[in-house]
Structure 1
Amino acid sequence: MDSPLRFRDLAALKVDVLHGVGPKKRDALAHVGVESVADLVTYYPRRYVDRTTEARVRDLLVGEEALVLATVSKVESRRTRNGRQLVTVRVTDGSGSLTVTFFNQAWRVRQLTEGTNAAFFGKVDEYRGRLQMTSPIVDLVGDRTGKVVPIYPQSEKAGLNTWETAAMVAEALRRCSPRGIDDPVPAATRDEYGLIDRGVALGLIHGPESMGDAMRARTRLVFDELFRVQLALLEQKRLLELHTTGIEHQTAGPLIDAFTAQLPFELTGAQQRTVGEIYADLGRPTPMHRLLQGDVGSGKTLVALFALLAAVVGGHQGALMAPTEVLAEQHVRAVRQLLDGLEVEAPESLLDSRPLAVELLTNRLNAAERRRVLEGLAAGHVDIVVGTHALIQDAVGFASLGVVVVDEQHRFGVDQRAWLRDKGRADGRTPDVLVMTATPIPRTA
């Protein structure tokens, strides 16, 4: 017995192996990015017409929204007095007739020719004693039957309509059915998360018997997308760990103890747990790249300070990068207030210690202040710097950058964060990166 088909098997099969897909349809599919059988079975409907909610024309009520499945009986196009193009379409479902109007959509004449079966969704109005919809959502359903009709993206330029696409998808799934489609997710995992089989999901996303079927299929296929993203991220992490070397920070000592002791409050349980996880990463020989997500006011900056102090304990520097000068100034005030009175070892000085130095670097600084901060960073006299994009300018150099904290990741490009991460060391080791964000993590991919 042949084993189930894997996606790599389907990706190796061009769409023209399917019955009914000749050169013309092959080229049309290629125009929308569908070249293989794998592409075709993952070319999902953009929405569905739920015929269980279908209304008959005779039952329509003025002022209410409704879904009507009807056949075009007449199409007219003319210009109004103010120069707008008016397309008037008369449709009937056997119980009555409905007028559908479109303004400045001349292409509807080609779409809604006489005899075309379509679904119309919109608000019902009355004009001169006749029921009417103005600019409703239109889905061409052809002669397909069933409670739920999938509607695929249509391309007039490519010459693709939804029922032709549905027929080709159905043919692809039919050809796959003897061997079935392999599911890489173990049955135990599917049971744990309430997921249906991948092959079943592909069948239901394209041919659901109910909207519940479509949602169950979507849940499984979204899981697959997220699963692939996670695998890609894990692979990136593995490669990063293989080819980069971290710093192995010291995450305990008098400086951190003194900071904790002088806080006017105790850390919450969530903050303690998060600091512990970050410190576990910082103590490893591989560089950290961690996302710290929390609501505004949840104490992310305080947690980030613990990470920055771990760099300072080992004789390195910390950098906090904010998206705007206003936020950078707010951060530096908060950091200075929280770290006030703390001292660090000063082997280059006649004294045993010196005050922990926190500086601000933005484009608002005058030339003298900017030069002083840059010299302090290069010499290692600045322990923590707070700044904006000014931190990634060519003139900025660090003696030993250990930890980088970026506030609001979405405001910075990948290249900018990489620049700040890579430019701070001459020994080849990679600083650790902590990204703070109040933005919820997207639930879809």
Structure 2
Amino acid sequence: DVISCGVRPTRRAGFKILELLVRDPTGALRAVWFNQPFLADVFRPRQRIVLYGKLELTSHGLQLQNPQYELLKDKDAEDADPDDRGESPGGDLEGLHTGRIVPVYEKTGHLTTKVQRVLVHQALAGLPADLPDSLPGEVRDRQGLIDRRRALAEVHFPPEGAPLDELNRFRSPAHRRLIFEEFFLFQIGILLRRRAADADLKARPVVITDDIRASARRVLPFRLTGDQKKAIAEIVGDMKRPHPMNRLLQGDVGSGKTIVALMAALVAMENGLQVAFMAPTEILADQHFINIRRLLEGSRFRIASLTGSTPARKRRELQAELAGGSVHMAVGTHALIEEAVAFRELGLVVIDEQHRFGVMQRAALRAKGLHPDVLVMTATPIPRTLALTAYGDLDTSTMREMPPGRRPIKTTAKPESRRDEIYEFMRQQLDSGRQAYVIYPLVEESAKVDLKAATEMADHLAQEVFPAYRVGLLHGKMKEDAKDHVMGAFARGDLDVLVATTVVEVGVDVPNATVMLIEHAERFGLSQLHQLRGRVGRGAHQSFCMLLYQAPLSDQSRARLAALTETADGFEIAERDLQLRGPGDFFGTRQSGLPTLRVGDLLRDHQLMEDARREAVAVLDNPQGAPALIEMVRASWEQRFGLVGVG
């Protein structure tokens, strides 16, 4: 019972304390609230209240500081305004905030946890007892899930005795039910998209003859690994089907994805179809062009390069040749998706480092043909959990095996204090005729400072550390032709040391480079470090990656550097990176194709995602199925999960 209530001023101007004297059968105590004088309008003598908070012993006796409170019905309840009791005219909310497990919500604008609790309680009270359930009954039974009405009620207001630990780990029956439902609806949508794509028919499937097999054997410069053979078989199998291929080829850095893509391209061209091969940067597109042209030198096929720096006259000639069909394969950047570019018969689209392209860019290239086969490649291995979501509508080929003769890269992490030791080691490698990279971080927020540091480091290395060697600088702010000039010089061996920002992260191939020194390694992400490391170890010589860091390290930075020194397996690194960063950051922006999830978490609930996938397949495979459910998903899926369909 409230005995008395009053506001007391303090010496600080405008700072007031509300004091409440309360008692129960065991005695009396004070409750105080700092600078919340409006509460004087809430409390009054003879009210019955419940207080919850930390009890302290002060010079004034027992005291609760800023406790949570709940007003109970009292002698004057009949006359009281419902708003004064913290309840609505629509329902009895006694015992909602205390004496039970209560939900804690993030404050939204002016809506406190307490107000939200009341609103949610009212919304739940208004739900019909026979609330429609989007999960088919047989799925609920197989998965041991509770019904939707009960799940919505219990996830907000758990029953008495529910284990608190289970609730906070999102493992209560109510949580499991709602997470599963979200994943199930997502997977139904992904599978419907995939089946709709399978309903398209391409202009003509390819055929494989003995002549084509012989042509492929002539092009191959070395024996294929088991993984390469398997990937080629899967890709060619797709190309022979009447439906367009939608396949993701993921392979670790250096696993030989380009040769696999080239085999697919050769099959398409032997069948009279054209090929578009799109890379994210000019350096990478040029490198692909040079390698592919060298491998196809003795063949009858014409390969052309089309990038942003192709001169206007040459570009017009190429566009005419592509439209006429005399150029069989175009290798280039996003210049390939410009409106003026048209193909006579585009049969295969290959997109390298596909996470660098937006969804709409990929769609624009696909639209250049009539349902062409599409092969997307990435050297950033996709953890299985994310493959089921971001790439759930693609078939996947995975390559983990390295081509024969590749030696594992030796990786070490060293503090700044051992810089001289690292320079001495680099000098020995340069004396042996090898080349070295020195990588500097460059982030948008501190781009000017980072660029200055990289430029100063290039000068310092050239003049004081390695005066006998040729040192070059490469960074993202340079003009495209200047970048190409520097990269070309390093690839030809005209430079010994290349100081660069992270522009060399993807695909650059210099077999004679054996040292990768990464400055401020603690500032890089794990997958990015692994990609950079993959720029060396591409030739016959032993290669080394050295991670130079500034102490002290945060726990996250220490975990990243430890992961890199302990394993060279890109798939294991991708899993660890996912655990360290979470799914949203793994791909970078929302453009990556990850769904907007309300209750599920891709990492925490990965097993439920796999269960949901299996059940979604079973429902769609059943001819009777669940037509109402499928219609509902078709109508609301893209908006619900924040994803746009591409076709």
TM-score of the pair, normalised by structure 2: 0.41
Equivalence for 2:373 = 432
- Secondary structure of 1:151 counterpart: coil
Report the CA distance shift for 1:235/1:266 in structure 2 as closer, same or farther (over 3 A).
Answer: same
Deviations along 1:345-400, one digit per CA (max 9) or x if unpaired, are xxxxxxxxx2x332211011223433443343233232221111211223222121
**1:15-164 pair list within 5 angstroms:** 143-151=97-105, 154-156=108-110, 161-164=115-118
1:398 aligns with 2:398: no
Secondary structure of 2:103's aligned partner: strand
Distance in 1 separating the partners of 2:29 and 2:214: 81
Q: Does 1:314 align with 2:271?
A: yes
- In structure 2, relative to structure 1, the CA distance for the partners of 1:233 and 1:434 (3 Å cut) is same
What is the SS of the residue equivalent to 1:319? strand
Retained in 2: the 8 A contact 1:321–1:388? yes
Cα distance 1:180–1:227, how it changes in 2: closer, same or farther (>3 A)? closer
The offset of 1:299, in angstroms, is 3.6
1:369 aligns with 2:342: no
Q: Summarize the Cα distance change of 1:162–1:312 in structure 2 as closer, same or farther, 3 Å threshold.
A: same
Give the corresponding residue for 1:59.
none
8 Å CA contact 1:183–1:199 kept in 2: the answer is no
Question: Contact 1:152/1:165 (CA < 8 Å) preserved in 2?
Answer: no
The 5 A counterparts of 1:177-188 are 181=133, 183-184=135-136, 186-187=138-139
Summarize deviations over 1:220-245 as a string: whole Å, max 9, x none: 43333233233223333444444544
Higher strand share: 1
1:207 to 157, 164, 180: 157
Q: What code does the residue aligned with 2:157 have?
A: G
Distance 1:413 1:264, change over 3 A: same
Structure 1 Cα separation of the partners of residues 102 and 260 of structure 2: 51
Checking the alignment, whether the CA contact within 8 Å between 2:246 and 2:373 is kept in structure 1 is yes
C-alpha deviation, 1:164, in angstroms: 1.7
Give 1:382's aligned amino acid.
V
Take 1:77 and 1:288, find their aligned partners in 2: how far apart are those partners?
75
1:312 CA drift (Å)? 0.9
The alpha-carbon deviation at position 283 of structure 1 amounts to: 1.2
One of 196, 216, 219 as aligned partner of 1:259: 216
Sequence identity percentage: 35
Q: How does 1:336-351 map to 2 (within 5 A)?
A: 336-337=293-294, 339-343=295-299
Matched residue type, 1:268: G
The change in CA–CA distance for 1:266 and 1:290 in structure 2 (over 3 A counts) is closer
- Measured in 1, the distance between the counterparts of 2:141 and 2:210 equals 43
AA aligned to 2:375 is: L
**Alignment deviations for residues 101-150 of structure 1 (CA, whole Å, 9 cap, x no partner):** 9xxxxxx9999998799999xxxxxxxxxxx99xxxxxx99724423524
Q: Which amino acid aligns with 1:290?
A: R
| Alpha-carbon distance between aligned partners in 2 of 1:114 and 1:223, rounded to the nearest angstrom | 42
Gaps of 5+ in 1: 1-72, 81-85, 102-107, 121-131, 134-139, 344-353
Structure 1 pair 253–386 and aligned structure 2 pair: CA distance change class (3 A): farther
**2: CA distance between counterparts of 1:329 and 1:75?**
77
Q: Aligned partners of 1:254, 1:98: CA distance in 2, in Å?
A: 90
Deviation of the 1:184 alpha carbon: 1.5
Provide, for residues 316-354 of structure 1, a one-character-per-residue CA deviation record: whole Å limited to 9, x for no partner: 1111112222222232234334x34452xxxxxxxxxx2
Quickly say closer, same or farther: Cα 1:236–1:89, change in 2 above 3 A.
farther
Partners in 2 of 1:77 and 1:396 — Cα distance? Answer: 77
1:313-332 alignment, distance < 5 Å? 313-332=270-289
Q: 1:88 to 1:328 in 2, by over 3 A?
A: farther
What is the alpha-carbon distance in structure 2 between the residues aligned to residue 247 and residue 273 of structure 1? 24
The one of 225, 237, 247 equivalent to 2:204 is 247
Measured in 2, the distance between the counterparts of 1:388 and 1:254 equals 32
Whether the aligned pair in 1 keeps the contact of 2:349 and 2:374 (CA below 8 Å) is: yes
| Structure 2 match to 1:335 | 292
SS state of the match for residue 347, structure 2? strand
- In structure 2, the partner of 1:379 is 324
The 8 Å contact of residues 361 and 386 in structure 1, kept in 2 or not, is answered as: yes
In the alignment, the residues of structure 1 paired with residue 8 and residue 349 of structure 2 have an alpha-carbon distance, to the nearest angstrom, of: 65
Does the 8 Å CA contact 1:421/1:433 hold for their aligned counterparts?
yes
Q: Do 1:246 and 1:432's aligned partners in 2 also have CA atoms closer than 8 Å?
A: no
Which residue of structure 1 lines up, in the alignment, with residue 363 of structure 2? 418
Inter-partner Cα distance in structure 2 for 1:242 and 1:303: 26
* Counterpart for residue 166 of structure 1: 120
Aligned counterpart, 1:268: 226
- CA change 1:331–1:221 in 2 (3 A) is farther
Identify the residue that residue 55 of structure 1 maps to in structure 2.
Answer: none
What do residues 31-72 of structure 1 show as CA deviations (whole Å, max 9, x unaligned)? Answer: xxxxxxxxxxxxxxxxxxxxxxxxxxxxxxxxxxxxxxxxxx
Cα deviation for residue 315 of structure 1 reads: 0.8
Q: Tell me if the contact between 2:18 and 2:39 (Cα under 8 Å) persists in the aligned partners.
A: no
Q: Counterparts of 1:246 and 1:118 in 2: how far apart (Å)?
A: 74
CA distance in 1, matches of 2:381, 2:137: 30
Residue 182 to residue 227, structure 1, CA distance change in 2 (3 Å)? closer
Closer/same/farther in 2, CA of residues 221 and 260 from structure 1, 3 Å limit: farther
C-alpha contact 2:279 2:285 (8 A) present in aligned 1 = yes
Q: Say if 1:246 and 1:287, in contact at 8 Å, map to a contact too.
A: no
Cα 1:237/1:153, change in 2 over 3 Å: farther
Gaps of 5+ in 2: 1-5, 23-27, 44-48, 54-64, 67-85, 87-94, 387-593, 595-600, 603-640, 642-647
For residue 285 of structure 1, report the CA deviation from its aligned partner: 1.4
Given that residues 278 and 336 in structure 2 are in contact (C-alpha distance below 8 angstroms), is that contact kept between their aligned partners in structure 1? Answer: yes
Report the Cα offset of residue 249 of structure 1.
Answer: 1.5
2:248 to 291, 315, 318: 291
